Amino acid sequence: MHWVIRLSQHDGKENRCVDFSLSSLQTDIAEAATKISAAFPMSYWRAKDRTEEYPWEFVKPFAEGGWLGLIIPQTYGGMGLGIAEAAVFLNRVAASGAGMSGASALHFYIFPPMPIVRHGSESMKKRFLPDVAAGKLLSAFGITEPNAGSDTSRIETRAVKQGDHWLISGQKLWTTNAQNAPKILVLTRTSPRDPAKPLAGLTLFFTDLDRRYCAIRRIDKLGRAAVDSNEVFIKNLPARDDEIVGELGKGFEYLLDGFNPERIVLAAEAIGIGRAALQLATRYAAERIVFERPIGANQAIAHPLAKAWAHLESTELMVFKAASQYDSGQSCAKAANAAKYLAAEAAFDACDAALQTLGGLGYAKEFDVERLWREVRLYKIAPISQEMVLNFLSQKALNLPKSY
């Protein structure tokens, strides 16, 4: 969203108005995302949800159009655009009915490379980023562990130097794309945990996901079935010095750089899913006749949908406020976290109201609302829980004592 303060003269008085419309570039991005996504109807996503197959056919036209390199600099084959543009793009993908499966399939080309974009060596950028932008390189994202979720300092996966290389061993949980990805961005501990500086000594490697040293188990989960989540058991996975992203021991700092923009974009995705569900529900409410009139004429049906619309619209303003702050170099942590919190709540409520509107049909897979309902629930949990967002806002926005 492009916010412009416009000054105008009317009857000798100066008027100020805020233009909330998309810029011409953002409009083009929105239209392109909508057009490509439209070639993949709800039936496509129902099938992918059922078979749990990765949506390669869906990714292909976006790769051919260069859209996977949205935020990768032009020097390395990308478009070099901002987080606001990425948010518009993925919002429209999710709103098409592709939901979280479609948005995530593209999201994990766009965002995991961010530490490389910002902190990788020049040779690493030149070697890998053009292939990511072209859709030729899918990477897994190995951060979370069984004993290290929100508390990243508890990472137990170790990288130990052995002569001229490193050996990585440990267990990762909720690792996306490990079924198909040839590379993994993996967070390791390279020096013992210091209670005084618990997040120091963590190092990011971008290395081969070599199955000779890794056992991968797919997790059977509630939603987003087309994009795999996995447990990865790593034993003596070799890595080189030139596969370290940035400097040794600064891996968490590099991840931290990406937390806020990712939360902004995830919030935009959630809003898109909420709108997709709302569209299905309002159409049904207008067409379904009970007692000789559309059920949408009843306030018990109409009001929850209207409330959902209002919450999605107002939440979008926070999303693009955060995106505007990030892209202009301002501090955006409070706005980004608030946007993620509000979007997760508003989108789930919209999907829940939609399911209730369809009644028994909402519970049936062929009507798609239940798929969106299952997928959108994840935004309340990941990549940060609603409770941890409120902890952050309590401390940083309200200056209350730290509670965890």
Among all chains, which residue has been given the structure tokens 């989108």? 347
70: tokens are 């949205």
**Domain presence at residue 337:** yes
Contacts of 43 (CB under 8 A, 6+ apart): none
User: In this predicted structure, which of 13-17, 305-309, 367-371 has the lowest mean pLDDT?
Assistant: 13-17
Mean per-residue pLDDT of the chain: 95
**Domain presence at residue 168:** yes
In terms of domains, do 258 and 241 share one?
Answer: no
Q: Give pLDDT, residue 75.
A: 97
Res 266 pLDDT > 60 = yes
In terms of domains, do 146 and 127 share one?
Answer: no
Q: In a 3-state reduction of DSSP, which class is residue 365?
A: helix
Q: Give pLDDT, residue 111.
A: 85
Number of domains in the chain: 3
Find the domain containing 164 and state its range: 139-250
Q: How far apart are CA 167 and CA 236, in angstroms?
A: 5
What does the pLDDT look like over 152-163, one tens digit per residue? 999 999 999 999
In terms of domains, do 307 and 345 share one?
Answer: yes
Q: Which amino acid is at 66?
A: G
**Domain presence at residue 260:** yes
Question: What residues form DSSP beta bridges with 194?
Answer: 197
Q: 304: cis peptide before it, omega within 30°? A: no
Q: Give pLDDT, residue 345.
A: 99
Q: How far apart are CA 22 and CA 45, in angstroms?
A: 28
Res 18 pLDDT > 90 = no
Q: How far apart are CA 389 and CA 336, in angstroms?
A: 10
- How confident is the model over 326-355, as a mean pLDDT? 98
Q: Are 214 and 181 in contact (CB under 8 A)?
A: no
Q: Is the dihedral of CA 218, 220, 224, 225 positive or negative?
A: positive
Q: How far apart are CA 100 and CA 34, in angstroms?
A: 15
Q: Are 152 and 205 in contact (CB under 8 A)?
A: no
Q: Give pLDDT, residue 16.
A: 60
101: tokens are 């499966």
Q: How far apart are CA 152 and CA 259, in angstroms?
A: 13
Res 2 pLDDT > 70 = no
**Domain presence at residue 403:** no
- DSSP label of 108: H
Q: Which amino acid is at 22?
A: L
- How confident is the model over 276-304, as a mean pLDDT? 98
In terms of domains, do 220 and 241 share one?
Answer: yes
In terms of domains, do 153 and 233 share one?
Answer: yes
What does the pLDDT look like over 182-239, one tens digit per residue? 999 999 999 999 999 999 999 999 999 999 999 999 999 999 999 999 999 999 999 9
**Domain presence at residue 51:** yes
In terms of domains, do 37 and 68 share one?
Answer: yes
Band of pLDDT at residue 139, cut at 50, 70 and 90? very high
The helix/strand count (H/E) of the chain reads as 12, 11
Q: How far apart are CA 345 and CA 155, in angstroms?
A: 29
Q: Which amino acid is at 234?
A: I
Which of the listed residues 250, 278, 306 is the one where a domain comes to its end?
A: 250
In terms of domains, do 181 and 218 share one?
Answer: yes
Which of the listed residues 103, 133, 163 is the one where a domain comes to its end?
A: 133
Res 164 pLDDT > 70 = yes
Band of pLDDT at residue 4, cut at 50, 70 and 90? very low
**Domain presence at residue 402:** no
Q: Give pLDDT, residue 404.
A: 85
127: tokens are 């070697």
In terms of domains, do 126 and 154 share one?
Answer: no
User: In this predicted structure, which of 35-44, 58-67, 254-263, 345-354 has the lowest mean pLDDT?
Assistant: 254-263
| CATH code of the domain containing 237 | 2.40.110.10
Which of the listed residues 225, 250, 275 is the one where a domain comes to its end?
A: 250
What does the pLDDT look like over 71-98, one tens digit per residue? 999 999 999 999 999 999 999 999 999 9
Q: In a 3-state reduction of DSSP, which class is residue 52?
A: coil
Say what the pTM is.
0.94
21 versus 264: which is more confidently predicted? 264
**Domain presence at residue 401:** no
In terms of domains, do 186 and 152 share one?
Answer: yes
- How confident is the model over 117-124, as a mean pLDDT? 96
**Where are any strands of DSSP class E within 102-210?**
139-142, 158-162, 165-176, 183-189, 202-208
In terms of domains, do 102 and 169 share one?
Answer: no
| CATH code of the domain containing 86 | 1.10.540.10
**Domain presence at residue 404:** no
Q: In a 3-state reduction of DSSP, which class is residue 246?
A: coil
Portion of the chain with pLDDT greater than 70, in percent: 96
In terms of domains, do 320 and 341 share one?
Answer: yes
**Residue-wise burial string across 6-24, b where 16 or more C-beta atoms lie within 10 A, e elsewhere:** eeeeeeeeeeeeeeeebbe
Res 70 pLDDT > 70 = yes
In terms of domains, do 264 and 166 share one?
Answer: no
Question: What residues form DSSP beta bridges with 189?
Answer: 158, 202
Q: Give pLDDT, residue 7.
A: 43
Q: How far apart are CA 360 and CA 269, in angstroms?
A: 27
What does the pLDDT look like over 363-391, one tens digit per residue? 999 999 999 999 999 999 999 999 999 99
Res 3 pLDDT > 50 = no
At 209, give phi and psi (nearest 5°). -90, 75
